[in-house]
Chain A
């Protein structure tokens, strides 16, 4: 069965204004190249649909085998004015773990 991102990395998700940031951390150095290949701005946008209104950036951190995903206009206006329950995006990033790992 195809592996999902949840099998090869950890995640911590949060907010900064109306930006949702999600750090994905490879469980092992061997997993890191797969993590980098799997997470792209296009795929992130596709997962969240209308929930992410702005551009998405994916930043590599080779030194700690992590990828930081930054989604703009992604929290319905930011923690204080969003209508969503997850005001600070702590849960939001976890949906990225559904992405099938690109071999």
Chain B
């Protein structure tokens, strides 16, 4: 049996830089390069694209990445795994197969993972007694949003990825598998681990390591509190994992690349976007982040060991996207002297315009940019003298409405400030109203979700 699997992280989100992924593929000597492309909102956006065009609905970047990387990946023997299939992994897989043929890479095997999309099953599930209670708010009135649903996807585990790899796939493209599963899958496959009681700690270790590296540069110096100490972040190295059969792992990066890997860059990502650290819940299992041990074992190299965990829960998380009105927004800036007073006057003027335009708003929000936009009530105001001397202050107004027409009034009122506003009012391009897709997270019994694996060959 293999004693070590070497994985790289190729993407932390849809929109990440491709050059660090190419670098880690070229220089990383990897068994696998793994990509997370999906955020909570992505599925709803992609579902909308698919409605307009049945051939769309995957993350376009995922196709570009696979096309750009598969010649090198086939040559060096690195397998590419992603969740970039979005709500149309089949169309994505077919595109990748077509690209492989066009590149002369015959016999490239592409694994397609489906089954996370439960949009068409909701009615049936309701009748079977699934309540779809909101797991964040406890809200049980799912009927209030049911007629406005855009997307519904379960966060599925690594089972399908493992099956595809067992089938000899060079590339695996999935829909909504968890971000984490693109790392857990190859590790479980290589070591022959199963979702059973003997492997809970080892799977927990794969989950913990997957969490650390799944945002790519997030553990190599990106988003850091120590930003000033991070060299050459514009050419940051994406992380590399040496995962060992005993369930421990080393995290490192390509030598000579920007950024750092040390205990703090890893800790910073370990604590990122988690709830109770004793129970990091993934569809593959539960990891206890308070059990693990970190050691710096070399330059840009951190060893992680002793991860403990528990078996996977018998429910799966589902995120349902539903239409929830519109947001209208406007921004203007005001100069010294008396920048703050100008901003206050502009706010008063905006509110008068809203009255004249008979704006029907659900919620009106103002920010004083430079003073309280980011911390709200948690930002102390400067004293009167300091306020009077501020170089500039901005006014941001955001309004939640039921219709696009009402949201458009906010853009118009913002433009009216150009002449009705205080002297020195400056502005950029007006902001177009945007539709809101709100998210309804819920838990459902696993038996309603069945992953399907198909293997396509170029």
CA distance A12 to B223 in the complex (A): 8
Please tell me if the beta carbons of A63 and B223 are within 8 angstroms of each other in the complex.
Answer: no
Please tell me if the beta carbons of A81 and B400 are within 8 angstroms of each other in the complex.
Answer: yes
CA distance A57 to B137 in the complex (A): 15
Please tell me if the beta carbons of B378 and A98 are within 8 angstroms of each other in the complex.
Answer: yes
- Interchain CB contact (< 8 A) of A47 among B223, B293, B327, B378: B378
A22 nearest CB across to chain B (Å): 8
CA distance A91 to B224 in the complex (A): 12
Please tell me if the beta carbons of B272 and A14 are within 8 angstroms of each other in the complex.
Answer: yes
Bin the interface of chain B by size.
35 or more
- Interchain CB contact (< 8 A) of A16 among B275, B289, B375, B400: B275
Residue of B nearest to A25 (CB): B267
Please tell me if the beta carbons of A86 and B363 are within 8 angstroms of each other in the complex.
Answer: no
CA distance A86 to B223 in the complex (A): 14
Q: Which of the listed residues A51, A72, A80 has the most CB atoms from chain B within 10 Å of its own CB?
A: A80
**B263: which A residues are within 8 A, CB to CB?**
64
A29 nearest CB across to chain B (Å): 11
Known: A10-B226, A94-B375. A83 touches B271 (CB 8 A): no
Please tell me if the beta carbons of B268 and A25 are within 8 angstroms of each other in the complex.
Answer: yes
Please tell me if the beta carbons of A21 and B275 are within 8 angstroms of each other in the complex.
Answer: yes
Please tell me if the beta carbons of A80 and B275 are within 8 angstroms of each other in the complex.
Answer: no
Residue of A nearest to B364 (CB): A83
CA distance A64 to B275 in the complex (A): 16
CA distance A95 to B374 in the complex (A): 9
Please tell me if the beta carbons of B374 and A12 are within 8 angstroms of each other in the complex.
Answer: no
Residue of B nearest to A6 (CB): B225
Known: A12-B223, A80-B439, A85-B396. A66 touches B374 (CB 8 A): no
* Chain A CB within 8 A of B177 CB: no
- Interchain CB contact (< 8 A) of A62 among B290, B367, B379: B290
Known: A61-B289, A63-B293, A95-B375. A12 touches B272 (CB 8 A): yes
Q: Which of the listed residues B40, B41, B367 has the most CB atoms from chain A within 10 Å of its own CB?
A: B40
Residue of A nearest to B291 (CB): A63
CA distance A56 to B141 in the complex (A): 24
**B273: which A residues are within 8 A, CB to CB?**
14-16, 21
* Chain B CB within 8 A of A77 CB: yes
Query: A-side binding surface: helix, strand, loop or mixed?
Result: mixed
Q: Which of the listed residues A47, A50, A63, A72 has the most CB atoms from chain B within 10 Å of its own CB?
A: A63
C-beta contact mask, B245-274 vs A, less than 8 Å → 1, else 0? 000000000000000000110011111111
**A79: which B residues are within 8 A, CB to CB?**
40-41
- Interchain CB contact (< 8 A) of A72 among B136, B276, B324, B398: B136
Please tell me if the beta carbons of A83 and B378 are within 8 angstroms of each other in the complex.
Answer: no
B406 nearest CB across to chain A (Å): 14
Residue of A nearest to B377 (CB): A49
* Chain A CB within 8 A of B105 CB: no
CA distance A73 to B137 in the complex (A): 8
Please tell me if the beta carbons of A85 and B374 are within 8 angstroms of each other in the complex.
Answer: yes
C-beta contact mask, A61-103 vs B, less than 8 Å → 1, else 0? 1111010101011001111110111100011101100100000
Residue of B nearest to A15 (CB): B273
* Chain A CB within 8 A of B373 CB: yes
CA distance A90 to B268 in the complex (A): 13
CB<8 Å pairs between A and B, sample of 25: A10-B224, A12-B268, A12-B271, A14-B273, A18-B137, A23-B272, A25-B225, A48-B377, A50-B377, A51-B377, A51-B378, A59-B277, A59-B278, A61-B271, A64-B270, A66-B271, A72-B136, A78-B439, A79-B40, A80-B321, A81-B324, A81-B400, A83-B398, A85-B374, A94-B374
Binding site for A on B (CB under 8 A): 40-41, 44, 136-137, 223-226, 263-264, 267-278, 289-294, 321, 324, 327, 363, 365, 367, 373-380, 396, 398-400, 436-439, 441
